[in-house]
């Protein structure tokens, strides 16, 4: 069971650092781990942010959860209380130095979120967020490519991060660690299509995959590829909580 963080476990807020998962979502997310299911949280957030705000604890009586932060650059395992994180990409420092000039060129008063392993430029705070994102993208994308960084559009955000890794790549590596036939993935973002392709490929080879779209309130933020590929559509974190609660009820009596 793999679940994204923003607007899947936690509501999206104007200040990204203030995002906290809904307690009722976490209660039903971690319960299946005690019944033998593996629980993974692939996210663009730093792994330590998810572990801290979701209050994921290690210990023999706690359900194990794996957090794949920064789209897989970081990995945190609650079972071992261990966090692995490589050094930041050197080009990110150049990106930090250039961002004031790039934002000035676009004329967009974006909120800047420095994630250490990536830079996120949010337009949710702007008067017309979709239009602001469209204005900001061209002057930022070209220099990012020159630095060897990936400029990826998300829900009213443009993120600069190292190329060569995504949620699909890292989730495939986790699934390869032990035999896994069936996967449920719930997400909401434009960063999720690599997972769509991963699960489609697994299903073509005889596996089982269920994609769940945690739909945003605004149609301006819907990722068409994800929405059209998902078998189920729920309304944000509240809908995810209801779905996972139903899955937990179905698992009652199942032994690990």
Q: Which two tokens stand for residue 177?
A: 């660690």
pLDDT of residue 179: 83
CA-CA-CA-CA dihedral for 143, 149, 152, 156, to nearest 10:
-60
Domain extents for the chain?
2-86+165-251, 91-162
Give the full edge-to-edge strand order of the sheet including 2-3. 82-84, 74-77, 65-69, 39-42, 2-3, 182-187, 208-215, 232-235
Which residues pair with residue 212 across a beta bridge? 186, 232
Which residues pair with residue 84 across a beta bridge? 75
| 33 pLDDT higher than 80 | no
pLDDT of residue 12: 82
pLDDT of residue 42: 93
Nearest to 92 by CA among 143, 162, 140: 162
The torsion angles phi and psi of 233, rounded to 5 degrees, stand at -130, 125
Model pTM score: 0.85
Burial of 151 (0-12, 13-18, 19+ CB in 10 A): buried
- For 2-86+165-251, which CATH class? alpha beta
Please give the average per-residue pLDDT across 29-38, as a whole number.
74
52-101 residue pLDDT tens: 888 776 666 666 789 999 988 899 887 777 888 889 888 888 888 887 88
| 220 pLDDT higher than 60 | no
pLDDT of residue 156: 85
Check whether domain 91-162 has CATH 3.30.70, yes or no: yes
pLDDT of residue 104: 80
| 240 pLDDT higher than 90 | yes
């Amino acid at each position: 069971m793999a679940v994204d963080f923003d607007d899947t476990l936690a509501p999206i807020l104007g200040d990204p650092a203030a995002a906290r998962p809904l307690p009722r979502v976490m209660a039903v997310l971690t319960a299946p781990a005690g019944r033998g299911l593996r629980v993974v949280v692939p996210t663009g957030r730093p792994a330590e942010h998810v572990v801290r705000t979701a209050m994921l604890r290690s210990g023999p009586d706690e359900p194990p959860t794996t957090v794949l932060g920064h789209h897989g650059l970081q990995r945190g395992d609650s079972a071992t209380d261990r966090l692995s994180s490589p050094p930041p990409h050197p080009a990110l420092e150049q990106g930090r130095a250039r961002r004031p000039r790039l934002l000035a060129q676009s004329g967009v008063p974006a909120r800047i979120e420095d994630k250490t392993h990536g830079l996120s430029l949010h337009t949710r705070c702007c008067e017309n967020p979709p239009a602001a994102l469209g204005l900001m993208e061209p002057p930022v994308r070209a220099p990012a490519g020159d630095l060897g960084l990936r400029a990826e559009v998300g829900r009213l955000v443009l993120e600069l991060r190292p190329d060569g890794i995504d949620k699909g790549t890292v989730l495939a590596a986790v699934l390869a660690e032990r035999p896994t036939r069936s996967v449920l993935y719930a997400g909401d973002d434009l960063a999720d299509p690599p997972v769509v392709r991963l699960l489609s490929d697994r299903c073509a080879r005889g596996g089982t995959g269920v994609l769940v779209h945690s739909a945003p309130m605004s149609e301006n933020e819907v990722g068409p590829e994800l929405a059209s590929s998902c078998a189920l559509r729920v309304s944000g974190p509240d809908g995810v909580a209801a779905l996972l609660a139903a899955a937990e009820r179905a698992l009652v009596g199942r032994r690990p």
